[in-house]
Amino acid sequence: MLTVKNLSKKFKKSDVYAVKDVSFELTKGEIVGLLGKNGAGKTTIMKLIAKSLIPTEGEIVINDRDILKGNNMLKDVNLMIESAFFNHLSAYENIKFYLTINDMDYSEKEIKNVLMLVDLWEEKDHNPSQFSFGMKQRLGLAMCLSSAPKLVVMDEPFVGLDPNGVTALIEKLREWVVDRELTVLISSHQLSELEMICDRYIYIDNGLLVKEFDKSLTSVTVIKINDEIDPSVIQKFEHTEMNHKEITTSLENEHFNDLIKVLSEETSITDINKKDHLKDLFKKGEEV
Amino acid sequence: MNHLFLPIFKNTIKMKSIWLYWCFGLVPFIVILSAIFNSDFLQIETDSGITMTGLDLFYMLFGILHNLLLPFVILAFIISKVFYDEIHSGIIFMYKDIKRSSILFSKLITLLIIHTIFNVILFISSTVVYYIHTGSLDNTSPLLLPEGTNLLAFSLEPIGIYLVQLIAIVLAITLSIKLSAGYTILGTLLFIFFTTLAPMLGVSKFLVPTGYTDQIDSLGLYGVFAIMIMITIIYLAALLTFAINRFKKVEY
């Protein structure tokens, strides 16, 4: 769906690269989290995909087409990077304008549905100038979801949403991933929300792609046992390691239950603790 | 282009500043108010021996408003909102990767239509004022157009002003791609000042469309007109090429 090859960006008045030699791929129907500290280069990567920045080097291919080699290549891509709107138009008119200029098919019902999803239907006739920051974010989200995109690029989509809104957004994105094979590149500092939705993660630091890792690696449980057991017992389980009296595993559901069952038969469990590896990643920088 | 131009036009004319700009087209009615309150402001007097027509009044008010600069300050402000503000606020993300030159041309056509509507309002209101007030003064004709005069020769000066305004609009667009409202307004007004003063400054008068109106004897009426048009086209082509290149390279 999306291939980023050796992407670099150096701003005119800067000596250093904001993004350097970044390559990654997103396959159809995948939700990928773009992680990194402030200033790491996440937004720059998103803006390069949105073609609002011109890359110094590299290629961006969407559906086998190099998007940098022509116009109107982002027809199937919706962006939520900066939530800015015309203040002399209502929320409804802003979405309608966006859909019309981009020559997208839409129905009044679709606009209504998306405004209801972000809880702005009651405010549809109000101008964004009267909106709070959170409401503007939600309007940006509505715009991003207002047509039937194949790829969605979202920068901090959870900001401004209440817990119900976050759940509704996550459900909607998951529904679209299943029904429409939507692909999502999402950046957020709200790690627990990202963990609820992402299949994979890309970690950016100082403009470099430091690590790509799977969802299974972020959900790690540490089990402490009373006595050391035979390592062969543990070797039967995937993604599970033992270090003296501590077992680390990324198993979930029935596999996790099986492990607990086996351990209980061998020894007694003293503690089970879920480790937040995304948070660790932010603290340490690069180690997962 | 149509799916781009129409929404941009409909969107732009919803801006309050557009309606303020168009309100300046109603300035001719001040002539009536001025007469009612016996004020010297915009008092119309006709010289004996010269018969004034409706078109004379329109051209006179058109020239006064051009020199007054206020409507152009508002227009330059509008241009800045349409370009600079949209780029710097992030509204431009709405256009995704639509061909930048198409966006620019749709906005340019929108602005030219807005400018034309202003002139139509000015023409209609000055005609109304002429027939209900000025036409009753001494030395005025009941006719809108002058009789026995070559219309092109009669209109050469206002045509020059109109061409200057076209250039000023494109100049404002070029400036507003990179510069904020203050600089755009300043740059546009300096250009209008220059075009007003240049005809009085020797050789430099030949740099502006308004500098040839006294050359009819040597160049002929159609020669002068052709040169005015040619100079305007050169300015527009140069500015538009520069503006398109700038707009294509804009990063936000």
Asked if residues A278 and A197 have their Cβ atoms less than 8 Å apart, the reply is no
For B44-71, the pLDDT digits (tens) are: 666 656 677 889 889 999 999 999 999 9
Mapped onto helix, strand or coil, the DSSP state of residue A34 is: strand
User: Would you call A88 and B16 a contact, using CB atoms and an 8 Å cutoff?
Assistant: yes
Nearest to A25 by CA among A7, A12, A42: A7
Q: How far apart are CA A233 and CA B100, in angstroms?
A: 64
Q: So what's the pLDDT on residue B1?
A: 59
DSSP assignment string, B146-162: PSSS-HHHHHHHHHHHH
CA of A27, closest CA in chain B: separation in Å? 22
Q: Which of A9, A88, A137 should one mutate to test binding to chain B, selecting the residue with the greatest count of B CBs within 10 A? A: A88
Where does the pLDDT of residue B177 fall: very low under 50, low under 70, confident under 90, or very high at 90 and above? very high
Q: Can you give the length of chain A in residues?
A: 288
Q: Which positions of chain A have pLDDT values less than 50?
A: 288
User: Would you call A103 and B15 a contact, using CB atoms and an 8 Å cutoff?
Assistant: no
Return the C-alpha torsion angle B101, B105, B111, B117, nearest 10: -170
> E strand or H helix at A9, and its extent?
strand A2-9
Residues 6+ apart with CB under 8 A from A89: A97, A127, A128, B11, B14
Mean pLDDT, range B118-122, rounded to an integer: 97
Q: How far is CA A104 from CA A75, A171, B4, in A?
A: 8, 24, 12
For B214, which DSSP code? G
Residue B180 token pair: 């904020």
Q: How far apart are CA A99 and CA A114, in angstroms?
A: 13
Kindly state whether B41 is in contact with chain A, defined as any CB-CB distance less than 8 angstroms: no
Question: Domain residues of chain A, as ranges?
Answer: 2-76+150-214, 219-284
Residue A76 C-alpha from the chain's centroid? 18
For helices B151-176 and B181-197, angle between their N-to-C axes, nearest 10 degrees: 150
Kindly state whether B93 is in contact with chain A, defined as any CB-CB distance less than 8 angstroms: yes
Tell which CATH architecture fits domain A2-76+150-214. 3-Layer(aba) Sandwich (3.40)
Asked if residues B83 and B173 have their Cβ atoms less than 8 Å apart, the reply is yes
Q: So what's the pLDDT on residue A123?
A: 94
Q: How far apart are CA A226 and CA A32, in angstroms?
A: 38
User: Would you call A102 and B96 a contact, using CB atoms and an 8 Å cutoff?
Assistant: yes
Q: How far apart are CA B3 and CA B26, in angstroms?
A: 32
For A263, which DSSP code? H
Sign of CA dihedral B42, B44, B50, B52: positive
Mean pLDDT, range B34-50, rounded to an integer: 69
Q: What ipTM did this prediction achieve?
A: 0.86
Exposed, middle or buried, A129 (CB in 10 Å: 0-12/13-18/19+)? exposed
CA of A260, closest CA in chain B: separation in Å? 51
For A121-131, the pLDDT digits (tens) are: 999 999 999 99
Q: So what's the pLDDT on residue A231?
A: 85
Question: Domain residues of chain B, as ranges?
Answer: 2-248
Whole-number average pLDDT of chain A: 89
CATH topology of domain A219-284: Alpha-Beta Plaits (3.30.70)
Q: What are A204's strand-pairing partners?
A: A209
CA of A242, closest CA in chain B: separation in Å? 50
Residue B105 C-alpha from the chain's centroid? 18
Count how many pairs of residues, chain A against chain B, have C-beta atoms within 8 Å.
Answer: 67
